Amino acid sequence: MAYPSRFWSDLSTHDFSDAMASGLAARTVAVLPVAAVEQHGPHLPLHVDATLLQGVIGAALPLLPHELPVLLLPPQDIGLSTEHLAYPGTLTLAPATLLALWTELGECVARAGVKKLLLLNGHGGNVAPMDIAARELRQRCGLLTYSSSWFSLPLPDAVQGLFSAEEHRFGIHGGEIETSMMLHLAPQAVRMERALQWRSSSQGRAERFGLLGNGRSAKMGWAMQDYHASGAVGNAAAATADKGRAVVEAAGQALAQMLQELCALPWPAQG
């Protein structure tokens, strides 16, 4: 038995009743996409994080076997973006609101008989609340809950090598990688005439301070303007659609592998 659609909201309540009765629901992985609507510098639209996440999901879905029980929940495009509030247009929820939203959706998933949930993220500011929500859902509902971000998925060396080590480390917002992906996924929304190379203040800290600047030993509570007044960092001017396509396709392949591994993972856990 397989679902008639990969998308949760396409199904009927009868479909879910059948899935619960047959045991399909208990084998299912539900995926909750979470993103952001926030500024990404002068050259990119507010929907970057949502667009990139959906692009990676779109690259993964055709790679999944038809019978693999994976269901995509409606995307939650507004996340925790308080670090961008100095820039007009940014939308955000408070941390408590976000945690309540994600955990209540997870509780609904559990009531449908589904035992596994992946919180799939497209925005760095969501990582901390996502980790908390995953643990809450494990305790409240007994769900096997994983959290992952598309930008944490492994990329082949050939794709990694399209961008400098400096860009990977410091071009974290509106830089060459995100701009390249947008040129592939939504080129009409990119204003390359405004794309520049913006040096992050993190580079200066890395050059001066062995601990505060190493990217591992301490984490700064930051706002985007602390990195660059433009609201972006990295070499957006070097972006190309071909580079973006390579990242999207490679991340999609990694996501497809992760979903297959989640389906195969026994739950409750076995020794």
Query: For the segment 113-140, what is each residue's pLDDT rounded down to a tens digit?
Result: 999 999 999 999 999 999 999 999 999 9
Give residue 166's pLDDT: 96
pLDDT at 71: 98
Residue 269 has pLDDT above 90, yes or no: no
Give me the pLDDT at residue 1, please: 82
Q: How many CA atoms lie within 13 A of 89 on its CB side?
A: 13
Structure tokens at 43: 């050259």
Please state, for a pLDDT cut of 70, what percent of the chain lies above it. 100
CA nearest neighbour of 219 among 124, 121, 85: 124
CA angle 229/178/150 to nearest 5° reads 120
In tens, the pLDDT along 38-87 reads: 999 999 999 999 999 999 999 999 999 999 999 999 999 999 999 999 99
Q: How far apart are CA 80 and CA 85, in angstroms?
A: 10
In the chain, what are the domain boundaries? 8-264
pLDDT for 270: 73
The mean predicted confidence, pLDDT, of the chain is 97
In the block, tokens 């390579």 appear at 246
Q: Fold for 8-264, please state it.
A: Rossmann fold (3.40.50)
Conformational region of residue 9, where left means phi above 0, alpha means psi within -120 to 50, and beta covers everything else: alpha
The dihedrals phi and psi of 72, each to the nearest 5 degrees, come to -95, 120
Tell whether the model's pLDDT for residue 260 goes beyond 80.
yes
Q: How many CB atoms lie within 10 A of CB 184?
A: 22
Calpha distance 112→132 (Å, rounded): 22
Q: Give 271's pLDDT tier (boundaries 50, 70, 90).
A: low
- Compute the distance between CA of residue 230 and CA of residue 226 in angstroms, rounded to an integer: 10
The proportion of the chain whose per-residue pLDDT surpasses 90, expressed as a percent, equals 97
Segment 187-241, tens digit of pLDDT: 999 999 999 999 999 999 999 999 999 989 999 999 999 999 999 999 999 999 9
Strands 116-121 and 197-198: unpaired
Looking up tokens 């999944």, which residue turns up?
64
Whether pTM exceeds 0.85: yes
What is d(CA 137, CA 104) in angstroms, rounded to the nearest whole number? 9
Whether 144 has a pLDDT exceeding 70, the answer reads yes
